[in-house]
Amino acid sequence: MREKTVLVTGANKGIGFGIAKYLGLSGWKVIIGARDEERAEKAISELKSLGIDVPGWVNIELADLASVQQAANEVNEKYPELTLLVNNAGIPGDMSVDGGHTELSDIKETIDVNFIGTFALTKELLPLLEKNSGRIVNVTVPSEISPYWHPLAYVASKAAQNAMMGVMAMEFVQGNKPVEIFSVHPGPTTTDLNGNMSLPGFHDIETVGSKMAQLINDGNSHQGEFIELYPIVKED
């Protein structure tokens, strides 16, 4: 059986940690992508205490393209068996303002991390994933605008990420390339990103991490799909 090795970005906390945990518990070797050594080591310690195989962590600062290149080089060198990239890391942008009051600097910063940095990492690791018949999974939100929650910088950055997924999936199929890409919307989840918001319909990291691992491990092709684990629904 082929060894299963995954790099999860932003895996030191939140949904990323939940994904890393439940993939690890299901037999994956987990590489932690993070930008803070102390938080990365804390996550590794906790995962290892559960019996999860964590060979180490990679320092990735998605806002810094030199950091992304260095991280990709390290992954190629240390983990040539990589078969799965989970693009989870991201920043929220300023969720307290409406679209007309969103600062241009906030739009740029959010897109730099959530789209440009994510694309750069994906691009750099693509040859390795193609060689290993691997997969890319993006943690994202719908491009369609929800009337209930629509912070402009964040939604715009994720819409670009969704476009990246759709274009790449089509090209993988057209080029008959042995690599798969799809996107997953976890649904409303209580995390640091939203200030640990907890409202009716929200789920916790354990629930989302477990369901995400089940999806990744289901043995089916999800090429080009946008999958909602828990769609946003209007509360009565």
Instruction: Tell me the C-alpha distance between 76 and 188, whole Å.
Output: 34
pLDDT in tens, 212-221: 999 999 999 9
Is it the case that residue 189 has pLDDT exceeding 70? no
User: Is 235's pLDDT higher than 80?
Assistant: no
How far is Cα 68 from Cα 120, in angstroms, rounded to an integer?
A: 7
Q: Which contiguous run of DSSP H or E holds residue 124? A: helix 118-131
C-alpha to C-alpha distances, 141 to 124, 161, 171, 202, nearest whole angstrom: 23, 9, 22, 14
Looking up tokens 């989302």, which residue turns up? 208
Q: Count of residues for the chain?
A: 236
pTM surpassing 0.85?
yes
Is the pLDDT score of 196 beyond 80? Answer: no
Task: Tell me which of 76 and 146 has the higher pLDDT.
Answer: 76
pLDDT tens-digit readout, 7-60? 999 999 889 999 999 999 999 999 999 999 999 999 999 999 999 999 999 999
pLDDT attached to residue 144: 82
Average pLDDT, the chain: 90
pLDDT of residue 232: 57
